[in-house]
Structure 1
């Protein structure tokens, strides 16, 4: 059984576990299934906007896919969420990636 199958099996019993959903999205990226990863990251963030770690990965995925404006939007949302959560490390990472893209 590969990693994706193992994660999906675990999600079958706990479908809203964001750690597992995030891990699955990262596995999708590794296997080139970026559309599935994008869909999963967006689902996580729409349901749980305070799940800070997914903002960076979603925005980077969008950036790689040439979806610049959407990447900027998700970086901005992530910076706002990180600021609200008082997560300075995540805020700095998002801000750095944002500035690299915008400037």
Structure 2
């Protein structure tokens, strides 16, 4: 996590507190070093910017890592729904693959 990058992102957030990309970037910066803070920003996006498709994969993965499997499942499913509604088939495919792996539905040969 780069402190300078975080400082710059918080300046951007001050200028436009509703910009989903800035909120997403802050969550991403926190992702590896402070998962709880990252989760707070992802949840803000899920609540206030539910059509920001990029959030769903990362939020669901983080829920998984934190052992919050019910929330992970709900997040994957909602992300798949919204990504299809938005016509973002790339995001849908990534979410579907991650969900299938999470749910034990990936049938890859071993």
Class of the TM-score when normalised by the shorter of the 2 chains: over 0.9
Q: Which residue of 2 aligns with 1:77?
A: 78
Q: Which residue of 1 aligns with 2:15?
A: 13
Partner Cα separation in structure 1 for residue 49 and residue 23 of structure 2:
12
Rg bigger for which structure?
2
Gaps of 5+ in 1: none
Q: How many residues in Structure 1 have an aligned counterpart in Structure 2?
A: 102
Partner Cα separation in structure 1 for residue 93 and residue 99 of structure 2:
10
Query: Residues 30-41 of structure 1: matches in 2 within 5 Å?
Result: 30=32, 32-41=33-42
Query: Residues 41-60 of structure 1: matches in 2 within 5 Å?
Result: 41-60=42-61
Partner Cα separation in structure 2 for residue 19 and residue 81 of structure 1:
17
Partner Cα separation in structure 2 for residue 102 and residue 73 of structure 1:
12
Q: Which runs of 4+ in 1 moved over 2 A?
A: none
SS at match of 1:86: coil
Partner Cα separation in structure 1 for residue 99 and residue 60 of structure 2:
9
Gaps of 5+ in 2: 105-110
RMSD: 1.0
Normalised TM-score (structure 2): 0.88
The structure carrying a bigger helix percent of its residues is 1
